[in-house]
C-alpha cells in the first residue's frame, strides 16, 4: 500500500504541476497577447509621428523652394533691367558719336560692310 500511496502522491503532484503549467501557459499567452497589443499601438503611434514629421518637412521644403524661386525671379528681373539700361546707354552714346562725326561713322560702316562681304564669299 505504501507504493500506491506514493504513486498517488506522485500522480497528484504531477497533476498539480500540469495544472500550474497550464495556468502559467495561459497567463503567458495572455501576457504575450497584451504585449502584442501594446506593440501594435506603439507602432501605430510611431507611424503617425513619422508621417507628420515627413509632412512637416515637405511643407518646409516647399516654402523654401517658393522663396528661392521668388528670389531668383527678382534677381533675374534686376539683371534684365540692368542690361536694358546698358543697351540704352550704348545706343545713346552711339547716336551721339554718329551725330558728332557723321563722315567717320559712314567710313566705319563701309569698312564693316566690306569685311562682311569678304568673309561671306569664302
Q: Alpha carbon of 29 to those of 17, 39, 87: distances in Å?
A: 18, 15, 85
Which residues of the chain are under the pLDDT cut of 70?
1-4, 6-7, 21-27, 29
Residue with cell 524661386: 69
Residue with cell 569678304: 118
- Kindly report, residue by residue over 30-58, the tens digit of the pLDDT: 777 778 888 888 888 888 888 777 787 88
* pTM, to two decimals: 0.44
Amino acid at each position: 500500500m505504501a507504493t500506491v500511496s506514493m504513486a498517488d502522491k506522485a500522480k497528484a503532484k504531477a497533476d498539480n504541476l500540469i495544472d500550474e503549467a497550464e495556468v502559467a501557459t495561459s497567463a503567458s499567452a495572455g501576457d504575450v497577447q497584451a504585449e502584442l497589443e501594446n506593440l501594435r499601438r506603439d507602432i501605430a503611434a510611431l507611424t503617425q509621428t513619422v508621417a507628420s514629421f515627413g509632412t512637416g518637412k515637405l511643407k518646409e521644403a516647399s516654402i523654401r523652394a517658393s522663396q528661392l524661386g521668388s528670389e531668383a525671379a527678382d534677381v533675374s528681373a534686376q539683371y534684365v533691367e540692368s542690361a536694358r539700361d546698358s543697351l540704352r546707354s550704348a545706343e545713346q552714346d552711339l547716336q551721339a558719336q554718329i551725330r558728332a562725326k557723321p563722315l567717320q561713322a559712314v567710313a566705319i560702316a563701309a569698312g564693316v560692310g566690306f569685311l562682311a562681304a569678304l568673309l561671306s564669299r569664302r
